[in-house]
Amino acid sequence: MYRPRPMLSPPRSFTPFAVAFVVIITVGLLAMMAGLLIHFLAFDKKAYFYHSNFHILNVEYTEALNSPATHEYRTLSERIEAMITDAFRGSNLKSEFIRTHVVKLRKEGSGVVADVVMKFRSSKRNNRKVMKTRIQSVLRRLSSSGNLEIAPSNEITSLTDQDTENVLTQECGARPDLITLSEERIIGGKQAEPGDWPWQVSLQLNNVHHCGGALISNTWVLSAAHCFRSYPNPQYWTATFGVSTVSPRLRVRVRAILAHDGYSSVTRDNDIAVVQLDRPVAFSRNIHRVCLPAATQSIVPDSVAYVTGWGSLTYGGNAVTNLEQGEVRIISSEECNMPAGYGGSVLPGMLCAGMRSGAVDACQGDSGGPLVQEDTRRLWFVVGIVSWGYQCGLPNKPGVYTQVTAYRNWIKQQTGI
């Protein structure tokens, strides 16, 4: 059959296609350029870490500056951190500066030297030398700022990510956000990620999880006395590290168990023990110590705390194999001792924490594990040791913990820490 041949389209009807074609190509090119621009402006950034030390001339070094738990240490570190932060925020490095942290305060002459790490974020194409010079010129202007008198000339050294991690994991109480000096702090969900609670220890009897504990030095673990009452012989015990109790990162034998002489199984008073490991552990991102609070540190009712452990999820249930965390609040002993609560069983060396409605609590198998709180500088302190409770997670029946501040001197006597 004959079909008429289609006529070639006149040039007029060709135009809409050409226009559409040109528009699509142009939009595509623009989008690509914008993408590249965004990439180079935002994603081509790299973290740069530096170490420096500041000699502070007008502050006298005292014993109180020896421990990050003291008010003196905290306030001086905060002042130094604020001074450095202000200097960079008011400089041409304000968009590169991320965060600074005082790692240590030392004695130098009659004054104090503060070891500090600083984080910047800048383009990958940036030259380290140029960056260093710019930072140094900001720091050089510090000597005249604030009411801290800083000795001039502070050398800075650049640190790799690994160096920074090593420096921060030697100090106590650093969680992942501090180790990377990141701006945000996130604790989500219930299951712990590796490195979230690096001081958490599983104390195992014949290689089976029995109690929790908290690493307070490279050889000492803080735990509860009641964990060892029936099994005081250290040779059956090991300590494991890492979020999983079935495939731990590290297993170390226990050398000695020192439980408090005054522990009473009736009143549960003095439910505290320190466990000495057979060899020191090497600190790393996933294994390092928590800070011990000062004996004088006050634990504020209603403040947030976290309890961690492999204990059962329901009363009478089984222990879990992956570390869990729970957010709770400190409850005053007065409230905790009300008739509807524990009616006077909460003794002065104890501390209550939970949720008023119940629901979040430690449970069987969490005993000996830490209740921790963050200070204003994002260091974590062990304020409680899981001790007892009426069942788990019931309203008006919160978890009862050994109050670590009350035993601070006992810990010192036993371990020297």
Q: Residues interacting with ligand ARG, by CB under 6 A? A: 311, 361-367, 386, 388-389, 392, 399
Active-site residue, 366 included: no
Backbone angles phi, psi at 262, to 5 degrees: -90, 10
- For residues 304 and 360, the answer to whether their CB atoms sit within 8 Å is no
Minimal distance, residue 226 CB to ligand ARG, in Å: 6
Catalytic residue among 217, 223, 367, 387: 367
Residue type, 170: Q
The residue behind tokens 């029995």 is: 210
Structure tokens at 75: 């306030």
Q: For residues 81 and 271, which CB has a smaller minimum distance to ligand ARG in the complex?
A: 271
Take residue 366 and report the two structure tokens written for it.
């969490």
**In terms of CB distance, is 113 or 211 closer to ligand ARG?**
211
Closest distance of CB 350 from ligand ARG, Å: 12
Per-residue burial over 288-310, b if 16 or more Cβ lie within 10 Å, else e, is bbbbbbbeebebeeeeebbbbbb
Q: How many CA atoms lie within 13 A of 289 on its CB side?
A: 19
Decide if 332 is catalytic. Answer: no
What's the CA gap between 67 and 389, in Å, rounded? Answer: 32
Q: What 3-state DSSP class applies to 252?
A: strand
3-state secondary structure of 183: coil
Q: Which residue is nearest to ligand ARG (CB)?
A: 389
The smaller minimum CB distance to ligand ARG, of residues 175 and 268, is found at: 268
> Which strands make up the sheet holding 111-123, listed edge to edge?
97-108, 111-123, 45-56, 156-159
Residue tagged active-site, from 269, 271, 361, 366: 271
Rounded to the nearest whole angstrom, what is the least distance from the CB of residue 394 to ligand ARG in the complex? Answer: 8
- The least CB distance from residue 393 to ligand ARG, in Å, is 7
Nearer to ligand ARG, 52 or 373 (CB): 373
Q: Closest CB to ligand ARG among 363 and 372?
A: 363
The verdict on whether 115 is a catalytic residue reads no
Cβ proximity to ligand ARG, 397 vs 408, nearer residue: 397
Q: State the Cα–Cα distance between residues 295 and 161, nearest whole angstrom.
A: 35
Q: Which residues contact 260 (CB under 8 A, 6 or more apart)?
A: 225, 270, 271, 272, 273, 407, 410
Torsion, CA 67, CA 70, CA 72, CA 77, rounded to 10 = 60
Q: How far is the CB of 357 from ligand ARG (least distance, A)?
A: 14
Question: Cβ of residue 166: shortest distance to ligand ARG, in angstroms?
Answer: 34
Tell me, rounded to whole angstroms, the distance of Cα 258 from its chain centroid: 27
Identified catalytic residue from 209, 226, 260, 288: 226
Q: Which residues are catalytic?
A: 226, 271, 367
